[in-house]
Amino acid sequence: MTKENSDKLGVKVGFWASFKENFSIVAIGLILAVLIRIFIAEPRFIPSESMFPTLSIGDRLVVEKVSYYFTPPQDHDIVVFTPPPQLQVLGYDRDQAFIKRIIAHEGEVVAVKEGIVYVNDQPQQENYILEPPNYNLNSIVVPQGYVFVMGDNRNNSNDSHIWGFLPQENIIGKAIFTFWPPQHLGKIS
């Protein structure tokens, strides 16, 4: 074998070894990205004003999925969820995600009277809402395995006061922080 042929063979072997290594790195990166999105966290986009003033149209946020494997959702958590059956019947796609705040859990009694939300006959301090609700809701008990959710923009939110209870199994995760636009960057409280 001549030196010229040996050099060409070395370049080909080097190219394929480098290609294989780079391909492996990209494949591992893609697999990790998919696994992280499925089991740990995912980005979401806010398409409506239902959570204003906490979240605005166009905000992008991270939804954390891990904590609900170990602890149940808590009052006032802002959760992302798939539409429950009663919304799917109305034409909402199962893949469409909603975002609302948990107001009450199973066994708790929810009511809305004269612009105030009550849980177990206790008025709720809701300094995060846009304005008080302009509707009433008779006392209802949240059934086992469900939560009651509402948007922070009480009068412009398609939430539990309209369509009923949310099965806990529909919850995808908890909204933890916004990352876009830059002026909204920060933890969601």
Of 6, 56, 100, 187, the catalytic one is 100
Per DSSP, which regions of the chain are E strands? 41-45, 60-64, 78-81, 98-105, 109-113, 116-119, 122-123, 137-141, 146-150, 166-167, 171-180, 186-187
| Beta bridge pairs of residue 109 | 141
Distance CA 181, CA 179 (A): 6
Cis preceding linkage at 53, omega within 30: yes
The distance from CA 70 to its chain's CA centroid, rounded to whole angstroms, is: 17
3-state helix, strand, coil in the chain (%, to 5): 30, 30, 40
- In the chain the first and final C-alpha atoms are separated, in Å, by 71
Of 18, 48, 50, 189, the catalytic one is 50
In the residue annotation, 100 being an active-site residue is answered as yes
Question: In 3-state terms, what secondary structure has residue 169?
Answer: helix
Q: Which residues are marked as active site?
A: 50, 100
